[in-house]
Structure 1
Amino acid sequence: MSHETDAAARGEPSTGSAALPATQRSLAPDLARGFMLLVIATVHAHLFRDVTGGGGFSLDGPLDVAATALMALFGENRGYPMFAALFGYGLAQIHLRRRAEGREWPWVRRLLRRRGRWLVVIGLAHTALLFYGDIIAVYGLIALLFTAFLRMSDRRLLAHAFAWLAAGSLCYAVVSELLFSAAESTAGAGDLTWLTDMAMRLAILPGFLPLMLVISVFPFLVGVWAARRRLLDEPERHLPLLRRVAVWGVGTAVVGGVPQALVNLAVWDAGPVTAAAVFWVHLITGYAGGFGYAAVIALIAVRLNRRPDERRGPVVGALAATGQRSMTCYLMQSVAWAVVVPPYALGIGPALGDAQAVALGIGVWLATVVIADAMRRAGFRRGPAEWFLRRMTYGRPSAPAGAG
């Protein structure tokens, strides 16, 4: 009996359900993931400067002021909603594809939950070894807890989504404002070591995971809804909707980011309650911005799809390669932060100005783009993290017929 037949007999996923070849992948989701990693890199680098500096943003000159304002308007709380929506989109794609293959729901559910468990494992290792702000484990928990939502009707799905939007965003705004203030008051400790840093990361994890989960469910469910309509796979069929989402989403994010920008620029000295309210507005409008960014990229993909692959240019190919290897590139960013930010490593965070920190984030992202494109050119269809997750989800590839 072959490995695949044996796995099927046990009701387990097998590699018989192959991933789509790169030539058959939709361009828009990969471009969106590649761009999203730029937003995440710049936001992380900017916030590292804020926290490790011990005195907030530097605001030392017009470049720093401009960088901090732009991050509030276009970056902070605008990148991760798109990431969460893309995760929901991808998980729904797996569900729809496997059901189209004739797989029964219990088989698909086991597949998705097994994927979720390994995402949690990867995320916990990521937290322990590298970075306190992991989101991989958060998405793993969502895959474990919300798999049944993939079978809901659109009406029920969106009702749950907006309920999570209302309750989750308010909870996150209040709690995170309190936690961030406490983190700022204790920042800049010079006696931090790698071991104590790891202990702190693991200690805050039980509070961090549910906090991130409550604000990720809404965009995740919206991503599931979008996948059912193939908004990113077939953007040319949804141009009016995508144009509205692009204009209103990005516009809403910019307007809603103005109060937070004034707080970050020290123009507005908001009290604790007002600061939490301002952050809540920033968070809510950030969802609109994330969806708007995805819509903008889908509209760009419509134009690019009209060209042959060889005429899309090296930049598009490199960005798509980054999106195809988004988890690997995300983890590579964390390796960079672990080298340059902590005081027990290079410790350059406090020495950077706000604009320099954003430039560092862009540089780290560009390095991951170059590496991802090199993987593509070398013939590697996936990054190491994607390869590992797929192997753990589906198991070892089955042997060719007649082998052995």
Structure 2
Amino acid sequence: MTSMENPLPSKSAAPLAAGATALAPESRIVGVDVLRGFALLGILMVNASLMAGVPEFHQGDSKSNFDHFAEWFVAALFETKFYLLFSFLFGYSFVLQMRAYQRAEMPLAVRHLRRLVGLILIGASHAILLYPGDILTTYGVLGFALFGIRRIHPRVALLVAAALFVFLAVAFLATGVMAIGIGDATDSAELDSGPNLTDLYRGDVGDVIAANITMVREMLVGAIMYSAHIFGAFLIGLAAAQYGVLDRVDSVLGKWRRRTLGVCVVGLVLGVPGAVLMAMIEFGPLSDRYYYLGRAVSVLTAPALTALYVCCLFALLRSRLGIFLGRPLAAAGRMSLTNYLGQSLVLAVIFTGYGFAQYGKVGPAALVLICLLIYSAQLAFSTRLMDRRRYGPMEALLRRITGPQ
């Protein structure tokens, strides 16, 4: 792979305010924080379905038209798109962190590797105690690989990302063809949780942890497969940061205007149909025999829809409504780790034996409303807290693990 003489140039980085530390909030790029805050909504919508036991709810006869629309809506607009956005931002932030360490003349390797270990430890605890679909552990592990190729040229990074996406799509396509050939309509992503798992999630603390461990084991293969998708998004984020794409909101709609319009067209032409197709396969009217074929399409088209979301959000930020929404979104993004874990904690209290044990009792439509309430509360709380503090609680913990700043 081609390397750059100076892979992390600092000329595009914003100068530090007088008296500010190298890694203080003053050096942050607001657009990145806004996107993180926005991504939290999509992550919550998707994760809540598993934590609430929606498949168990469907075993009854209480599924309404509102429920059907809600699950179709979430599948089309949220599934896949927002973990890609989070992954893109991880790669983008990786470059920003490297620049900050260079400006402050801090040792790079040890601090960053300690940060990755911290993510793995926090993620593993999160998976066992709260949400078995945790993404932090995967980020921590893949972060070592990203660090190893940090000098990669941005164009090469984009080519590798495209190759990873195609590889995963071909793998799903081959699996789908075989599944159709043998008449296997089983969706491997739908875990056979069974009544025993429901009992565990409605049980005591030990039962909930046992259920989470079971789910972690069952989801491991899927996590490994989708690592290619996640790492590809890392690389796109890394390349985008080296080009300074998000350094200012205006750059997306000004300097990058033509490319932004091109991204919007691709998102509409490829991203939207791909999302609709996947939702039709998962929740009708198409047969679930085509599940893997739909996944292959989604792997290739979801990034286009994610990019469309980014462009639309940045355009919104220039409007009056955007001015109103920008501050709470940025605040939520600044403490995105705390909010991500907080979402799982609140959902666990509602749906497991940690609290009200409503697992499998709430339908998709009601769950969407619950998610919107949780997200709204997080925006309000984040805005208030970030007015008083530099970091959220978990961000402060991760900084302690990383070392003196």
TM (norm. structure 1) is: 0.81
Letter of the 2:316 counterpart = I
Deviation, 1:159, is: 2.4
Stretches of structure 1 lacking an aligned partner (at least 5 in a row): 1-15, 398-404
Tell me: CA distance 1:197–1:46, structure 2 relative to 1, closer, same or farther (3 Å). Answer: closer
Q: Corresponding residue for 2:258?
A: 240
Q: Deviations over 1:172-219 (max 9, x none)?
A: 7859x7532443566863244224224324544754542342220111
Q: Corresponding residue for 1:60?
A: 64
Whether 1:285 and 2:301 are equivalent positions in the alignment is yes
Aligned partner of residue 237 in structure 1, secondary structure: coil
Cα distance between partner residues in 1 of 2:356 and 2:169:
35
Q: Corresponding residue for 2:284?
A: 266
Kept after mapping to 2: 8 A contact 1:325/1:386: yes
Pick aligned residue for 1:214 from 228, 231, 256: 228
Aligned partner of residue 232 in structure 1, secondary structure: coil
Task: Out of 315-324 and 146-155, give the one that drifted further.
Answer: 146-155
Kept after mapping to 2: 8 A contact 1:82/1:293: no
> Where do 1:262-341 residues align within 5 Å?
262-271=280-289, 274-301=290-317, 303=318, 315-341=325-351
Kept after mapping to 2: 8 A contact 1:86/1:220: yes
Tell me: CA distance 1:284–1:341, structure 2 relative to 1, closer, same or farther (3 Å). Answer: farther
Whether 1:154 and 2:158 are equivalent positions in the alignment is no
Aligned partner of residue 288 in structure 2, secondary structure: coil
Q: Corresponding residue for 1:96?
A: 99
Deviation, 1:300, is: 3.5
Cα distance between partner residues in 2 of 1:353 and 1:285:
28
Whether 1:354 and 2:358 are equivalent positions in the alignment is no
Pick aligned residue for 1:190 from 199, 203, 206: 199
Kept after mapping to 1: 8 A contact 2:123/2:134: yes
Deviation, 1:51, is: 2.7
Kept after mapping to 2: 8 A contact 1:53/1:187: no
RMSD of Structure 2 on Structure 1 (CA):
2.9
TM (norm. structure 2) is: 0.81
Q: Corresponding residue for 1:31?
A: 34
Aligned partner of residue 180 in structure 1, secondary structure: coil
Q: Deviations over 1:81-101 (max 9, x none)?
A: 000000000001112333355
Q: Deviations over 1:231-253 (max 9, x none)?
A: 11132422222232234225522
Cα distance between partner residues in 2 of 1:312 and 1:85:
22
Letter of the 2:296 counterpart = W
Deviation, 1:313, is: 5.1
Q: Corresponding residue for 1:376?
A: 386
Aligned partner of residue 225 in structure 1, secondary structure: helix
Cα distance between partner residues in 2 of 1:187 and 1:85:
37
Pick aligned residue for 1:42 from 42, 45, 49: 45
Deviation, 1:111, is: 2.7
> Where do 1:103-182 residues align within 5 Å?
107-171=107-171, 178-182=187-191
Letter of the 1:80 counterpart = Y
